[in-house]
Amino acid sequence: TDGKAGMAVVLDDPAAPTDMNTLATDLKKNGLPSYARPCFIRLTKHIELTGTFKVKKNVYQDEGFDVKLMTEPVYYLNQQKQTYERLTSEIYDSIMNEKIKF
């Protein structure tokens, strides 16, 4: 959103599920500055590619982080706890109404 909130799309392996708490800790521990950490993380089982094996970013940009448009889980960075939590429609509405800011 205006360059402030980034989203990372992560390929989620069912054999080794992504632990969101470990991910948040590792991002902070390995020195990634707070402004560079993604505010949203979307877990997906399949990343769409073009014919030249580039990621089709438009698909993800069009859906954004609207949980009503997708079936895949999206997590947001809770600024107070510094952990990633599952995005619900109530939290999505709070973000859109600017009750939760990044």
Per residue in 24-61, pLDDT tens? 999 888 888 888 889 999 998 888 888 898 888 888 88
- The C-alpha atoms of residue 61 and residue 5 are separated, in whole angstroms, by 12
Residue with tokens 């990634």: 32
Q: Burial-class residue 84 by CB neighbours within 10 Å (0-12, 13-18, 19+).
A: buried
SS3 category, 84: strand
pLDDT of residue 5: 66
The pLDDT of residue 92 is: 93
Q: What is the per-residue pLDDT for 85?
A: 94
Strand positions, DSSP E, 47-93 = 74-78, 83-86
Q: pTM here?
A: 0.83
Q: Looking at residues 54-69, what average pLDDT do you find?
A: 86
Structure tokens at 80: 């107070």
- Dist CA 4 CA 42 (whole Å): 17
Task: Please report the pLDDT score of residue 75 as a whole number.
Answer: 95
Q: Is the pLDDT of residue 68 over 90?
A: no
